[in-house]
A and B are shown apart, each in its own frame.
Chain A
Amino acid sequence: MTTQIPALDETEQGQIKDIVCDILELELDEVTDTSLFKEEHDADSLRTIEILASLERTFGITLKQSELSRMVNLAGVYAVVAEAKAQ
């Protein structure tokens, strides 16, 4: 059985982008959906854990640390959060 995972709406995507930009100390227009946190925005491992922890608090979801490997850019984070919300 396949389940359709509902995409995040614009408000939720905006919330996520705010969180990421706040933690990575970036302006909103410095980040695109595909720009890489680590390679392009100098994120280290503590920063990515911060992003994960902040998403859990904000959306009331639980994210496995293994998902960090997919959370390399905004598009990846949107997908991970959408899946976690659908569960």
Chain B
Amino acid sequence: MAAETGAPPAELVISGWAVSSPYGLGRAAFAGGLASGRRAIAPLDGADWPVPYEEAGLIPGFDIKAVLGRKGTRSMDRVTGIAATTVGMLLEEYGTGLAADPESTGLVLGTSGSVQSIMDFTRDALTGDKPYLVDPARFPNTVMNCPTGQSAIRHTLKGPNVTVSGGAATALLSLQYASRLLRGGHGRALLAGAAEEFSVQRARLERVADHGGAAPQPLGEGAALFLLQDAADARESGRPVLATVLGSRFRAFQDTARAGTALERCVADVLAAAGATPDDVELIAPGTPPGLLGKQEESALDGLTGNRLPVRSLVGDAGAASAAFQLAAVLAEAEADPRLVDRLTLVTAVDRDGTAGALLLRLA
């Protein structure tokens, strides 16, 4: 149960982050890869991955048992392994003191679970000698909150445990949800972010999905998680303040042709609420989806002169983890460029299912 924490946090900050990406495990590989501009998308081995794609942004050599050990990993699926690994990295680097208060430390993870696990389990039930001759240990993988629950159990996070799903905007929605939990006093430190896996079934589905009238782009995978807490708590526990969360806004759109208008309103509203102007935004990490959706996003950001950070073109379409990679890229860039101190940054997403979102941060 979440502990009562008294006064609501005055200022929510990001005080740590971790990433597993097509550049490898960890922040250094991610930051180095982005800085070099090297595309992290590689040819796929058709024997391992019978998919209608020639290349993808896989976490290089990711092997669940090698990373997490043999205990508790026998039936773990890929997205759960990626999530648990990334949570572990974040806690290892920034988790000092959090273990002392496990009930107030929680996880808000953006994921839609594993479509591969869902389809495998269903197929076993249909093709086995009897419908119930399935592997019961794989059943938990078929629900979307499996990665969130398993990660928290593995790392003893006893606070709120929430799974959020919202396509390309997922990570922005996760951060919004986590902010609300903290403001409501339902925890003192929350890990928020998103995770996605590459799989045969995801690839086959994405191949035939609508990509704004454009050809499908290579898929990516990975996870990025951010430690969210009150600024005073962060300083007290010796964690760095990396960025202050100024707010986020979301809008729904029915037709793709209205996505730009929806995003434009999100951006205008979140800037107005922070008392900022478009000129204050120094750095922008847009979702850059292909086709019409991408053009809509571009038009919405037309009035903003800040530098654009390319992410998707380098790591692929990371699905639910897309905006998490964009935010991670912003933090990596801020760490490398001291001129960004106290400057504003915007992370935006437009999802094909009709969600537009914008997150505004002040970098520290």
- Kindly state whether residue B74 has any CB partner on chain A within 8 Å: yes
Contact partner, A25, options B71, B132, B133, B136, Cβ 8 Å: B71
- CA–CA, A23 to B74, complex, Å? 7
B70-87, CB < 8 A from A: 70-72, 74
Contact partner, A57, options B70, B72, B128, B137, Cβ 8 Å: B128
- Taken together as a complex, chains A and B put the C-alpha atoms of A28 and B230 apart, in Å, by 50
| Segment 206-227 of B: residues with Cβ below 8 Å from A | none
Please count how many residues in chain B sit with their CB below 8 Å of the partner chain's CB atoms. Answer: 12
CB of B134 closer than 8 Å to a CB of A: yes
In the complex, B92 has a CB within 8 A of chain A: no
Chain B residue numbers with a CB within 8 Å of A60 are: 129
Q: B135 touching A25 by the CB < 8 A rule? A: no
Within 8 A of B (CB), among A35-74: 46-47, 49-50, 53-54, 56-57, 60
A22 engages B133 (CB within 8 Å): no
- B contact face: mostly helix, strand, loop, or mixed: loop
Q: Mark B169-198, 1 if CB is under 8 A from A, else 0.
A: 000000000000000000000000000000
B72 surroundings in chain A (CB, below 8 A): 25
User: Are A46 and B136 closer than 8 Å at their CB atoms?
Assistant: yes
- How many pairs of residues, A versus B, come closer than 8 Å at their CB atoms? 25
Q: In the complex, what residues of B have CB within 8 A of residue A46's CB?
A: 136-137
Query: What number of A residues sit within 8 Å (CB to CB) of B?
Result: 12
Give chain A's interface secondary structure class: helix
Please determine whether A25 and B70 come into contact, CB atoms closer than 8 angstroms.
Answer: yes
| Bound complex: CA A57 to CA B138 (Å) | 15
Chain B residue nearest to A26 in the complex (CB): B70
Check B136 against A50 for contact (C-beta < 8 Å).
Answer: yes
Question: In the complex, are the beta carbons of A53 and B135 less than 8 A apart?
Answer: yes
| Additional A-B contact list (9), CB under 8 Å, known A25-B74, A53-B135, A53-B136 | A23-B74, A23-B137, A25-B71, A25-B72, A50-B136, A53-B132, A56-B133, A57-B128, A60-B129
Q: Which residues of B contact A (CB under 8 A)?
A: 70-72, 74, 128-129, 132-137
**20 A-B pairs with C-beta separation under 8 A:** A22-B74, A23-B74, A23-B137, A25-B70, A25-B72, A25-B74, A46-B136, A46-B137, A49-B136, A50-B135, A50-B136, A50-B137, A53-B132, A53-B134, A53-B135, A54-B135, A57-B128, A57-B129, A57-B133, A60-B129
